[in-house]
Amino acid sequence: MVPVDFVPPQGGERNPAPAGQEPRTYRAPAGTAWVVREPSPAPGTVVLAATGEFDVDTIDCLRRALAEARHSGCRQTVLDISQIGFGDSSFLHELLTAHFAHGRLVLAGPVPRQLKQLFAMTGTLRLFTIVKDREVLGFA
């Protein structure tokens, strides 16, 4: 299923997203991966939802989304990884870069089996803060 770019509600919107928090979709040129920056329910938090297959050819959309989150001055970035079908070493590299560069990076699951295997094989699982889903953080 290919996602449709976010369309804001028509008329009557009472609480628009704060400046810099507007929904945005970052897409890989091949169209097999994308990241959506969602409105955040918590000040100082950027919420990203990644979908698809992330490898050397598609990783740029995640790189851009994480870089913009870092440069926005947020204290926390929540990355929903539950809809990722595949991630290779370039995907892991971006997560590690974000882990060390951001104030706090939280990965929200459920974590797909392939990513669990990637983290386990590389010994990186212990580095990440992982929650079972966004509801744990109060982000339904």
What predicted TM-score, i.e. pTM, was given to this entire model? 0.84
* Helical H segments across the chain, by residue range: 60-71, 89-101, 113-122
Indicate the CATH number of 24-137 among 3.90.1150.10, 3.50.50.60, 3.30.750.24, 3.90.1640.30: 3.30.750.24
Task: Residue 80: count other Cβ atoms within 10 Å of its Cβ.
Answer: 22
Q: What is the pLDDT of residues 107-117, one digit of tens each?
A: 999 999 999 99
Q: What is the pLDDT of residue 9?
A: 29
72 and 46 Cβ atoms separated by less than 8 Å: yes
For the chain, the structural domain boundaries read 24-137
Q: How confident is the model at residue 21 (pLDDT cuts 50, 70, 90)?
A: low
Q: What is the pLDDT of residue 119?
A: 97
